[in-house]
Amino acid sequence: MVKELSKEMVTKVIEEDSGAHRYVLERIWYDKQPIVAVITLYPSSSELVITDTTTMLVTNNVYKLGFGGFLSVNLYSKIGFPDSLMILEGRKTFNTHSYEAYSCNFYHHLGYRAIVI
């Protein structure tokens, strides 16, 4: 016997007009369940349809934990931020003042409420 299964997932992106800064990547598959906030160093390469490895792993694990979706927010909003391994190993220097960091208050003002795990 064959059966067809389907699940809708809404993906939203809040970014600067030029696309240089992304503030929120939101993925919701069940809006009746709590939503989790995932905080990373800088935005991934994920878009509305294209998903990178980090976003795929976050999606899979948040779903397995029983949440209805997640908000991906970052300490730095600049897309293309230097690789964190290069920063840790000191192979590349950067000036953090050249990147815009936004506090959690920014997301609160947008009306987001999330459980942080």
Count of Cβ atoms closer than 10 Å to residue 70 Cβ: 25
> How much is the pLDDT for 40?
85
State mean pLDDT over 73-99.
56
Q: How far apart are CA 71 and CA 24, in angstroms?
A: 6
Is the pLDDT score of 104 beyond 50? no
> How much is the pLDDT for 97?
40
Q: How far apart are CA 51 and CA 11, in angstroms?
A: 11
Angstrom distances, CA of residue 44 to CA of 6, 47, 73, 105: 27, 9, 10, 21
pTM beyond 0.75: the answer is no
Which residue, among 110, 102, 45, 58, has the nearest Cα to 77 in the 3D structure? 102
Residue range 19-51, pLDDT digits in tens: 888 889 999 999 999 999 999 888 877 888 888
The stretches of the chain forming alpha helices (DSSP H) are: 53-64, 84-89, 104-109
Which residue, among 11, 59, 10, 9, has the nearest Cα to 36 in the 3D structure? 59
Predicted confidence band of residue 82 (pLDDT cuts 50, 70, 90): low
State mean pLDDT over 3-29.
91
Task: Copy the structure tokens of residue 56.
Answer: 């795929």
